[in-house]
Structure 1
Amino acid sequence: MNFARHSISATAPVHIFDARFDADCHIFTTSTPAGFAVYQTCPLTLIRKREITNGTLATVLPLHTSSLVFLVGGGRSPKYPPNKVVIWNDHLGCEVAELEFRERVRGLACRRGWLSVALKRRVVVFEIGTTITRYGEWETCDNPKGLVAVATAAHSTLLAIPGRQIGHVQLIHLPPCRPPIPKGPPASGPPSKPPAAPTRHPVAIIAAHTTSLATLTLPPSGRLLATTSSRGTLVRIWDAYTGKLVREFRRGSDKADIFGVAFRPDEQELCVWSDKGTVHVFTLVTSGASNRQSTLSSLTNYIPLPKYFESEWSYAQYRIPTQSSHISLTATQTKISPTADVPDEERCVVGWIEGPSSDPAQPGSEYQLVALTYTGGWYRLSLPRFGNSFVSSLKSTSISSTPGSPPRLSSRPRAGSGTSIASKDKGKEREREKEKRDCLLQEFRRFGRWDGWG
């Protein structure tokens, strides 16, 4: 349905090595064979661009909206050794410091004045100021994905890293994060005070999964923790203070490689994206939209049904078109060198923003999603709006699925209503309900080879 919004081109896709949002999703960075660039997320605006020769970058991580950027070399011809983290001051246009390790850097996470570096079996934390100070180091299990997450809100303290056992998470409390420097005239009211110290020591280890971790995600406050495993079917939400399981969501019934999870800034929803090319949205609150659930879930207290029937499924989703949908079917296929880096069509990164309202009757701003694909797509998505008719229709539907396919909503058949006309009407109704669950594409931009997104 959104195909007309896409540019039709026979050119080869641009390969984006890395794309990352800052902690607040106000800006994002991209790394390509030509260098790296920093963009304002919405409205999409190029802030600055740096051309780099003689090498490529695997990681470009912005430190909030400051001029500092953390760089790690990678690809077939790394700009820097993969065992180094280079601190780049984009205001000065030069390197200001570097951190060298004895092994390859696997992952990075940062907050104001702090940098966490994930290595194969340890995580090292540095304090970044006028000088760089090594704060601490913690052992982990084998961490090939470089998983590490840090809370970024003012006065937050939490750092989440893999535990020493597979599937476990270590929760470490750093010194409180300092608040951002206010812009403009000083506030008339008194400055905000940090929260009171806890009366008892928070939990330190969470046994999140029985298999290896795929993602670790914290909201800015650090009050919750989202984890996924290598199975890619479940998303578990934990209370980061007590270590108790708060919610469990089901992404799908088949195995997937989950790329990321992102909390909405107010922590009322979260989104999940994977190699299936679909972004799923779940709600964390009981008011408003509700996650889909099997009508048999109410019977689990009386009948020993499989845990599958208790699962909560996403209330909204969006399937990101693959690059092939952007290319003319009559275009001549370009020969690709066997040694060339081929972009993953399904890989993307997603963040929450406050975008212009999609409802003309309610002007202002609303929470929306921005998805960046590694083949050069920029998508701004609004969430579906649910009326009373749709919410009530969910109560009379059940979730069904077939092995190897995502779940779908199907109406419960009534006794004696097996006519073909009735089945056609129900089929049309299911299609209408599915469309109501889809996120709406509000804006699309395509990455150009020379000018980037624009």
Structure 2
Amino acid sequence: MNLARHSISATAPVLIFDTKFDPDCRIFTTCTQAGFAIYNAWPLRLLRRRDIAGGTLSMVIPLHTSSLLFLVGGGRSPRYPPNKVVFWDDAVGREVAELEFRERVRGLACRRGWLAVALRRRVVAFRVDESISRYAEWDTCDNPRGLLTLATRTHSTLLAIPGRQTGHVQLIHLPPCEPPEPLGPPSSSPPTPPPPPPTKHPVSIIAAHTTALSTLSVPASGRYLATTSSRGTLVRIWDSVTGKLIRELRRGTDKAEIYGVAFRPDEREVCVWSDKGTVHVFSLVGGSGSSNRQSTFSPLTTFIPLPKYFDSEWSYAQYRIPSQSAHISLSAGPSKPPTADVVDEEKCVVGWIEAPAESPHDPGRQPSQEYQLIALTFTGGWYRLSVPRSSPVVEISPSSPVGPISISPPSVRALSLHRPRSSSGSSAASRHDKGKGRERERDSKESRECVLREFRRYGRWDGWG
């Protein structure tokens, strides 16, 4: 008998170079070493895959749910030159057009009839119809991330790009976005009228940060603008017409790389995710049940010159994506050669969907619709999360250490509780109250966590890759 020893190694991770939602978060695309694929965002379902030989892709951008995709080559062996944008018609399964530039393409944003391309120091906009025509171009500051964002709702006009100075944002208004072509018989309802024009001329420049920008995001309507900087501690929400700062939200106190910000479709909440592996959810409206957490001393900031930290708004809900490195490896040696492509285990993309709400108290009742989150990791994880409907207002103690805290600020619930004196230091009443306090604090913490409703794998586990 051959009783030789055999090594058992962990499953090799999926190498996902890029994954993107369409503007409405109905589908998402992903590209790996084998090619690219298109998935239904929820329920998760592989719609189509394309095996591409001869190289890899760095970006696959869907134009809503149409058959048109924008491809950019990248990686160690690019399928297309990195200075080209290839128009791929998935209905016929081939390239139909291309745009060539003198330098590498850094980023793309699209909507119906439009494509904006970010280069190192400029952004170029194109009309995409039966033919492709250059519309205009604008100079920017150094933009290695390829930041730009487009409002995609019908009649929206906003294009936001970095300004010429570091930390500034330039607001450009393109011709209005056309409505989508109706499918099936014509609707009897009248078409949606365009919004009234602004009473004053929109601003064109916003001095958002003093350091380099890390993300730019707008909702589909283009009413607001969300910006983050290389510090990664604050998210600022601006009015895109007046240029005024509406809200300043604190992700944490330690430096982080914020990967993205996404507005809820009704613009009542916003989610933020970073290299800390945590998704934070903030409310953009007041009222009980969904208030962001603030310091006990925040009302005093108008009277006392306290540090800005005490006036911060913290997320009312969050979810930490499990790290792949926390899993036990059965391999005695390294799982991949040092020359292999490295995938950031906690890098992800998050989007909002509309899904039936799950009611544990009345399972027989017809479920209502609610907004949920879909998180896509670059290691092939698909998470569907529901946001807590109500969250307690947890206060922040000024005596708590302002150290490297990225998930939530410290609570002072235990410090503010009045402990009754007792003749015995170990009385039953004291232990009973302490147990209740711990239980309440644990329930409060759990209610601030997003609930994982569904977890699945995409990329290799659906027969592709």
Q: 1:343 to 1:358 in 2, by over 3 A?
A: same
- Which amino acid in structure 1 is aligned with residue 102 of structure 2? R
Query: Which of 440, 443, 448 is equivalent to 1:432?
Result: 443
Hey, what's the Cα distance between the residues in 2 that align with 1:365 and 1:170?
A: 36
Query: Is 1:230 aligned with 2:230?
Result: yes
RMSD: 2.0
Distance 1:227 1:452 in 2: 38
CA contact (8 A) 1:215 1:258 kept: yes
Which runs of structure 2 are paired with 1:153-168 in the superposition (5 Å)? 153-168=153-168
Separation (CA, whole Å) in 2 of partners of 1:401 and 1:62: 45
User: Where do 1:202-281 residues align within 5 Å?
Assistant: 202-281=202-281
Mapping of residues 29-428 of structure 1, within 5 Å: 29-287=29-287, 288-325=289-326, 327-360=327-360, 361=362, 363-386=367-390, 391=392, 394=393, 398=397, 400-406=400-406, 407-411=409-413, 412-414=415-417, 416=419, 421=431, 425-428=436-439
Aligned in 2, Cα 1:74/1:395: closer, same or farther, shift over 3 Å?
Answer: closer
Instruction: Give the structure 1 partner of residue 3 of structure 2.
Output: none
Aligned residue identity for 1:383: V
Q: What SS does the corresponding residue of 2:24 show, helix, strand or coil?
A: coil
What is the one-letter code of the residue matched to 2:212?
Answer: S
Tell whether the 8 Å contact from 2:295 to 2:311 is kept in structure 1 after alignment. Answer: yes
Q: 1:335 to 1:133 in 2, by over 3 A?
A: same
Distance 2:70 2:335 in 1: 35
Distance change (3 Å), C-alpha of 1:250 and 1:417? farther
User: What amino acid maps onto 1:175 in structure 2?
Assistant: P
Computing the radius of gyration over CA atoms, which structure comes out larger, 1 or 2?
Answer: 2
- Counterpart amino acid of 1:172? I
Cα separation, 2, equivalents of 1:416 and 1:65 = 60
Question: C-alpha displacement at 1:140, in angstroms?
Answer: 0.2
| C-alpha contact 1:446 1:453 (8 A) present in aligned 2 | no
Cα offset, 1:300, TM superposition = 1.4
Match of 2:458 in 1: 447
Moved more, 180-189 or 102-111: 180-189
Structure 1: any 5+ residue segments left out of the alignment?
1-8
Q: How many matched pairs? A: 440
Q: Following TM superposition, by how much is the alpha carbon of 1:285 offset from its aligned partner in structure 2, in angstroms?
A: 0.7
The whole-number CA distance in structure 2 between the counterparts of 1:395 and 1:373 is: 30
Is contact 2:294–2:395 with CA below 8 Å preserved after alignment?
no
How far off is 1:100 after superposition?
Answer: 0.3
Q: Secondary structure at the match of 2:190?
A: coil
- In structure 2, what is the Cα distance between the partners aligned to 1:448 and 1:243? 41
TM-score by length of 1: 0.93
For 1:331 and 1:426, how far apart are their aligned partners in 2?
45
**CA deviation digits over 1:405-445, x for unaligned, max 9?**
23232313345558784556534432221111000000000
CA distance in 1, matches of 2:164, 2:23: 27
Contact 2:218 2:226 in 1 (8 A): yes
Deviations 1:80-123 (A, max 9, x none): 11100000000010000000000000000000010000000000
The one-letter code of the counterpart of 2:304 is I
User: Structure 2 stretches of 5 or more lacking a match?
Assistant: 1-8
- Is the 2:12–2:335 contact (alpha carbons within 8 Å) kept by the matching residues of 1? no
Residue aligned with 1:17, SS = strand
Cα separation, partners in 2 of 1:417 and 1:70, compared to 1, 3 Å: farther
Tell me, what secondary structure is at the counterpart of 1:408? coil
Cα distance in structure 2, aligned partners of 1:450 and 1:426: 45
Deviation at 1:453, TM superposition (A): 8.3
2:297 is paired with a residue whose SS is helix
